[in-house]
Amino acid sequence: MRLPRRDLIALLVLPFVAAALTHGPGGTTRGVILRALLPVSVLYLSLRLCSGVCLPARAGRRDPAGAIRSALPHEKPPRDGIGDRLIDPLTRLPNARFLFVSFQEEVDRATRYRGPLSLIELDVDGFGEINNRYGYPAGDRILRGVARAIRSQLRSCDSCVRYASDEFIITVPGVGKDGIEAVKARVAAAIANHKFVVAGGQPLIVTASLGWATFPEDGRSFEALIAVADARMYGKRFAGREGPREAGGYQRFSGRRDVPVN
């Protein structure tokens, strides 16, 4: 490793300057000061020599959520260790770990600025049947297509994670109950209009069920909000067939999300 020229000059010259000033006229005071500063300077230069990097003036906190959020619009974010742990390998969306890191930050921001924050839960309709009929590789292609359709409808500040097998959770900051229905409708339409293809080039129409919740009206924690979104999603899915399923939706949530898929 090469030491920068200015550091090499300082390392060689500083002891001689200190000695000259110490024995010069009025050098007692200056000598005391320089003798105090000299070990610090030498230690600094030694650390630079050993590490090969500049010591930062102010150490910033590592923010893995911020780093991965900057990669959201891209299909293939940088493959660093932190990013790989926060990315679902199939869809290239952030995974549940990212959600746990980032959602509390969004809640804190909404609280600080007194702004709305909404959450959408999305399940692919009949995904188990798709896997059984067309095979798991086809199911994987369906999930990647759903991820692309969702991403096409989101802003740069929104985030979508693959939470479980066929379940996605979208975080929409700055949008409250008056605007979240429009976002939900756009996402649902994008999935329904997406051109999905299974074995042999056969086209397949895929739909999804969505439910939403808004902070702070529907709850102040992720658990409370996702329970409300889950109940609304399943209430609409079963409406007209078995009637509203508010309680059933909540039971499904509390039992399944103990162990996310990723």
- The span from the CA of 233 to the CA of 97, in Å, is 23
Task: Give the pTM.
Answer: 0.62
User: What's residue 80's pLDDT?
Assistant: 47
User: What's residue 234's pLDDT?
Assistant: 85
- The span from the CA of 36 to the CA of 47, in Å, is 18
Q: What ranges do the domains of the chain cover?
A: 5-51, 64-256
User: What's residue 4's pLDDT?
Assistant: 55
Overall fold of domain 64-256: Alpha-Beta Plaits (3.30.70)
166 catalytic residue (yes or no): yes
Q: Which of 88, 123, 158, 166 is catalytic?
A: 166
Tens of pLDDT, residue by residue, the chain (262 residues): 445 565 556 556 555 555 555 555 555 655 555 565 566 555 555 545 443 333 333 333 334 444 444 444 443 444 445 567 899 999 999 999 999 889 999 999 999 999 999 999 999 999 999 999 999 999 999 999 999 999 999 999 999 999 999 999 999 999 999 999 999 999 999 999 999 998 888 899 999 999 999 999 999 999 999 999 999 998 765 553 433 233 333 333 333 443 344 4
User: What's residue 30's pLDDT?
Assistant: 56
Peptide bond into 216 cis (omega under 30): yes
